[in-house]
């Protein structure tokens, strides 16, 4: 069970915790931009009042709505409703040009966008920005469309003028927004040149250098990115945004960590930086130090839900289950006391349920799940977990009902598939293989080409001794997903275990090994088929490798048998004793020892 908790918490940590930017990972190159610009005293977490920006209004044309214009507008709208987007667009654009009314230009643009006609949309938006030069909405639409075109250079004068017209305190944030926008352009070098040109008058702004750093980093120019980030830190040494950007563009993780730890020594209240540091430690799997950082954050704000959740997950990851339960319960209390929080508590409830199960308190595990509200994002996983717990209490019918209730509420195909697979898994674990086969067969009538259903169906058919049907199902998986190593491995292992068609079995398993060379179960299969073919020394090498990759019970049983056959009985007994401590009632272990007449 601890292994299950560790797997779950690792997944949660990786999902919840974003780390520092790794070199070359351009996909996250905007991460630091999304941090709020922080002062040197970030501990005061009250929201600052938003500055009121007076946007200049664009005058509408001083003309009456004539019958001709009204007729054109109505004709365009009727045509658009009938699916005739082109005539509707042309008529509306002509009306906008005739009246010089930005509202009609906007409507023409909307029609083109709805019809997925980027070129026509850009023409209309150009007119809209011309008629409403102070409209932020028009500008945003124009910039978004121009990024998709080959004419990105035409926006430079517009951006230059917008920056010149902006209030001094607004220019920094505006430059960061512009950089994010330009990063979406097809011609990265041209967009970076524009950024350099429009930012030249504002070299004294920290944000200028941050924008240039992020733009350079997005193009893979690490040296320029680091130089610009250093310039930003020189202008404002206590800026959290600057040090986070510097860490993001650092050439390696060691340099990034040094930047952040040095900063935290000078500015220990820099909350956003400490959060980023803690999350990077999680990704590096330094859970102990990560927990220390989150504990520091909790001292600053004992009601911070994110910190409480992180501490709960970290504690579970390091097998400190009492601490995990404490932090996760506090996390739920904070969510309950803050109705404005729209977080889904499902992950915390699932983890608390697993901790209770570790204590063998299945009733408490179920009570945690009872706290989840139907309709929440994680409720499907709650129902699957509930079914698993009920099955552990030998209430298979109750487990199936929980899954059927979830199926009745779900209209999503992906969720329906997950529930079908969960139900068949419960039935297989209960040795109700025919019922499991019936469930999967019904699922395949609805989703005939789903490889997960086909694979699970083949595994149940094997247990029922229907080997021809099993092979047919696995061959179908191979046809639909040629890169699915599990299908090749399953068929190859089944042939080897039945001691038939061994050359073909070896070929299938070797194909699986080529697709997933580090998979311990495939390595075990390869060893097993070699053993069946009488190549005992090669089999032992593969089995040792498989058991080293993962000391699984059944892999250990196979290794023991190979060692026994190779005359290494003492070592074989040692391995069998190891696995018997994990699963003394394992059927494969018991049948192997009985067949070889071995007593441990």
Could you tell me if residue 567 is inside a domain? yes
The CB density around residue 357, as the number of other CB atoms within 10 Å, is: 21
Could you tell me if residue 289 is inside a domain? no
Q: What is the pLDDT of residue 298?
A: 94
Q: Report how far residue 500's alpha carbon sits from residue 477's, in angstroms, rounded to the nearest whole number.
A: 21
Q: Report how far residue 497's alpha carbon sits from residue 553's, in angstroms, rounded to the nearest whole number.
A: 17
Q: Report how far residue 349's alpha carbon sits from residue 368's, in angstroms, rounded to the nearest whole number.
A: 6
**Torsion angles phi and psi, residue 553, rounded to 5:** -60, -50
Q: Report how far residue 25's alpha carbon sits from residue 347's, in angstroms, rounded to the nearest whole number.
A: 28
Q: Report how far residue 15's alpha carbon sits from residue 96's, in angstroms, rounded to the nearest whole number.
A: 49
Q: Which residue, chain included where needed, has tokens 């021809």?
A: 468
From first CA to last CA, the distance across the chain in angstroms is 25
Structure tokens at 109: 């643009």
Could you tell me if residue 97 is inside a domain? no
Could you tell me if residue 155 is inside a domain? no
Handedness of CA 73, 74, 78, 81 (dihedral sign): positive
Q: Report how far residue 121's alpha carbon sits from residue 112's, in angstroms, rounded to the nearest whole number.
A: 5
Structure tokens at 19: 């780390």
| 202 DSSP 8-state letter | G
Counting runs of H as helices and runs of E as strands, what totals does the chain give?
32, 0
Overall domain count for the chain: 1
Q: Which of 421, 349, 430, 433 is nearest to 386 (CA)?
A: 349
Could you tell me if residue 561 is inside a domain? yes
Asked if 599 and 584 count as a contact pair (C-beta separation under 8 A), the reply is no
Could you tell me if residue 365 is inside a domain? no
Q: Report how far residue 492's alpha carbon sits from residue 506's, in angstroms, rounded to the nearest whole number.
A: 7
Which CATH number belongs to the domain containing residue 494 in this structure?
Answer: 1.25.40.10
Asked if 173 and 207 count as a contact pair (C-beta separation under 8 A), the reply is yes
Quote the Cα angle for 572-578-579, to 5°: 95
Q: Report how far residue 456's alpha carbon sits from residue 443's, in angstroms, rounded to the nearest whole number.
A: 11
Q: What is the pLDDT of residue 35?
A: 38
**Residue length, the chain?**
600
- pLDDT tens, N- to C-terminus, the chain (600 residues): 544 555 445 555 544 454 344 333 333 333 333 333 333 333 334 333 444 444 566 667 766 778 888 999 999 999 999 999 999 999 999 999 999 999 999 999 999 999 999 899 999 999 999 999 888 899 888 888 888 777 788 889 888 998 998 999 999 999 999 999 888 888 889 999 999 999 999 999 999 999 999 999 999 999 999 999 999 999 999 999 999 999 999 999 899 999 999 999 999 999 999 999 999 999 888 999 999 999 999 998 999 999 999 999 999 988 899 999 999 999 999 998 887 777 889 999 999 999 999 989 999 999 999 998 887 888 888 999 999 999 999 999 999 999 988 888 887 899 999 999 999 999 999 999 999 999 999 999 999 999 999 999 999 999 999 999 999 999 999 999 999 999 999 999 999 999 999 999 999 999 999 999 999 999 999 999 999 999 999 999 999 999 999 999 999 999 999 999 999 999 999 999 999 999 999 999 999 999 999 998
How would DSSP label each residue in 207-257? HHHHHHHHHHHHTT-HHHHHHHHHHHHHH-TT-HHHHHHHHHH-SSHHHHH
Domain residue limits at 497: 483-600
Structure tokens at 78: 């009727």
Torsion on CA atoms 511, 513, 514, 517, rounded to nearest 10: 170
Could you tell me if residue 333 is inside a domain? no
Asked if 250 and 280 count as a contact pair (C-beta separation under 8 A), the reply is no
For 445, half-sphere exposure in the C-beta direction (CA atoms, 13 angstrom radius) is: 5
Structure tokens at 344: 């889904």
Q: Which of 362, 301, 351, 300 is nearest to 326 (CA)?
A: 351
Could you tell me if residue 593 is inside a domain? yes
Q: What is the pLDDT of residue 5?
A: 54
Q: Which of 448, 439, 397 is nearest to 420 (CA)?
A: 439
């Amino acid at each position: 069970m601890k292994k299950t908790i560790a797997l779950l918490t690792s997944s949660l940590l990786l999902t919840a915790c974003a780390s520092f930017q790794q070199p070359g990972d351009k996909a996250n190159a905007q991460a630091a931009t999304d941090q709020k610009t922080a002062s040197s005293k970030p501990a005061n977490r009250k929201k600052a009042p938003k500055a009121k920006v007076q946007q200049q209004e664009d005058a509408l044309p001083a003309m009456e709505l004539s019958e001709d214009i009204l007729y054109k507008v109505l004709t365009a709208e009727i045509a658009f409703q009938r699916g005739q987007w082109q005539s509707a667009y042309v008529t509306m654009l002509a009306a906008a040009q005739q009246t010089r009314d930005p509202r009609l230009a906007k409507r023409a643009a909307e029609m083109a966008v709805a019809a997925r006609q980027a070129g026509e949309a850009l023409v209309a938006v150009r007119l809209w920005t011309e008629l409403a030069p102070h409209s932020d909405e028009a500008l945003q639409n124009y910039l978004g469309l121009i990024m998709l075109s080959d004419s990105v250079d035409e926006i430079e004068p517009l951006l230059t003028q917008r920056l010149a017209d902006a209030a001094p305190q607004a220019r920094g944030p505006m430059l960061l927004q512009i950089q994010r926008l330009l990063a979406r352009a097809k011609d990265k070098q041209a967009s970076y040149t524009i950024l350099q040109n429009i930012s030249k008058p504002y070299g004294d702004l920290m944000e200028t250098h941050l924008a240039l750093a992020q733009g350079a980093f997005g193009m893979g120019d690490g040296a320029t990115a680091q130089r610009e980030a250093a310039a930003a830190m020189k202008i404002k040494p206590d800026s959290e945004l600057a040090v986070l950007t510097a860490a993001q563009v650092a050439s390696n993780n060691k340099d990034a960590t040094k930047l952040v730890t040095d900063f935290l020594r000078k500015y220990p209240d820099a909350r956003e930086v400490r959060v980023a540091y803690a999350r990077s430690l999680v990704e590096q799997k330094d859970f102990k130090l990560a927990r220390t950082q989150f504990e520091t954050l909790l001292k600053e704000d004992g009601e911070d839900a994110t910190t409480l959740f992180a501490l709960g997950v970290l504690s579970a990851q390091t097998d400190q289950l009492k601490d995990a339960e404490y932090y996760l319960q506090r996390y739920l209390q904070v969510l309950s006391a803050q109705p404005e929080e729209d977080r889904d508590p499902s992950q915390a409830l699932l983890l608390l349920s697993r901790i209770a199960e570790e204590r063998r308190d299945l009733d408490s595990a179920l009570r945690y799940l009872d706290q989840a509200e139907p309709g929440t994002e994680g409720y499907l996983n709650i129902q699957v977990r509930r079914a698993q717990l009920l099955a552990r209490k030998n209430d298979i019918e109750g487990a199936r009902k929980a899954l059927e209730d979830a199926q009745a509420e779900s209209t999503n195909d992906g969720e329906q598939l997950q529930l079908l697979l969960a139900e068949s898994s419960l039935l297989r674990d209960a040795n109700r293989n025919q019922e499991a086969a019936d469930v999967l067969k019904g699922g395949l009538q609805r989703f005939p080409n789903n490889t997960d259903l086909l694979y699970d169906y083949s595994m149940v058919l094997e247990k029922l001794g229907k080997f021809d049907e099993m092979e047919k199902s696995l061959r179908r998986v191979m046809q639909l997903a040629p890169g699915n190593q599990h299908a090749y491995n399953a068929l190859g292992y089944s042939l080897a275990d039945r001691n038939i068609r061994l050359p073909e079995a070896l070929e299938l398993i070797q194909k699986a090994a080529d697709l997933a060379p580090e998979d311990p179960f495939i390595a075990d299969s390869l060893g097993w088929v070699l053993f069946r073919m009488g190549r005992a020394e090669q089999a032992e090498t593969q089995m040792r490798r498989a058991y080293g990759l993962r000391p699984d019970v059944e892999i250990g049983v196979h290794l023991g048998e190979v060692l026994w056959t190779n005359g290494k009985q003492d070592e074989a007994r040692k391995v069998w004793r190891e696995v018997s401590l994990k699963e003394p009632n394992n059927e494969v272990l018991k049948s192997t020892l009985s067949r070889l007449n071995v007593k441990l």
